[in-house]
Amino acid sequence: MRILEAVFALSREKGFHSMTLRDLSRKSGLSMGALYSYFSGKEDLRSMIRLEGVFYAKKVIAEQIAQYSDPSDRLNAAIETHLYLSEMLKPWFYFNYMEAVNLPKAEKIEATENELATEKIFIDILADGVKAGVFERHDVELTAAAIKAMLQDWYLKPWKYKRKSIPVEKYADFVKSFVSTAISSHE
């Protein structure tokens, strides 16, 4: 945890790409030897942070939506879980978003695939809802992308919601209601 907190703090201060392992050693209070016992270098550290968070987020979202068979309930659970995870893991979400531009090409491709995998959760739920007649026929991929963009807005532009004193619960209710209205079957 000390390493993660120090990495996130240094990333906010100067950017991960400008951070040195010496900076990390000073900020975390761990020796260079202790740091190297956890990872082999800065690129290894960045990859570990990114992949561990992606694995955890996917796992939690999958566990939460698996509790429901109704597509509307699954969609609401996916929206809520994503937003609540972004609150709990705010430094990780921000770190991943801000550092994506500095990733080597192979990791950028992997990051894009992970982003699309999260979006695929919404695509699958929407497609199931259309198939069951619960949701109106529409472009599920575009709708999933719009949902993902609304979720990202919460953790990438928190100042907008803080300024208006909007808590995550209220934003989650808004997103669920907005999406429900947009996709509800009118038959």
Same domain for 57 and 29? no
Q: Do residues 75 and 110 both lie within one domain?
A: yes
Q: What residue type is 95 in one-letter code?
A: F
Tens-digit pLDDT profile for residues 110-165: 888 888 888 999 999 999 999 999 999 889 999 999 999 999 999 889 999 999 99
Q: What is the pLDDT of residue 119?
A: 93
| Same-domain check for residues 74 and 163 | yes
Structure tokens at 15: 């950017």
Do 91 and 125 fall within a single domain?
A: yes
The predicted pLDDT at position 128 comes to 96
Task: Please tell me whether residues 87 and 166 are part of one structural domain.
Answer: yes
Same domain, 76 and 102: yes
10 and 75 inside one domain: no
Same domain membership, residue 56 and residue 1? no
Mean pLDDT over the full length of the chain: 91
- pLDDT tens, position by position, 34-66: 999 999 998 899 888 888 888 888 999 999 999
Give tens-digit pLDDT for 54-108. Answer: 888 899 999 999 999 999 999 999 999 999 999 988 888 888 877 777 788 888 8
Res 186: pLDDT: 60
* Number of structural domains in the chain: 2
**β-bridge partners, 184:** 135
Q: Is 59 exposed, middle or buried (0-12, 13-18, 19+ CB in 10 A)?
A: exposed
Strand partners, 135: 184
Judge if 57 and 147 occupy the same domain: yes
**3-class DSSP assignment, residue 80:** helix
Residues in CB range of 167: below 8 A, 6 or more apart:
none
Q: Same structural domain for residues 6 and 69? A: no
| Contact present, 81 and 63 (Cβ < 8 Å) | no
Are residues 148 and 125 part of one domain?
A: yes
User: The domain spanning residue 11 has which CATH number?
Assistant: 1.10.10
Q: Nearest Cα to 82, choosing from 44, 31, 125?
A: 125
Taking a C-beta distance cutoff of 8 angstroms, is the pair 98, 157 a contact? no
| 64 lies in the same domain as 111 | yes
Q: Which domain holds residue 54?
A: 47-183
Contact 155, 94 (CB under 8 A): yes
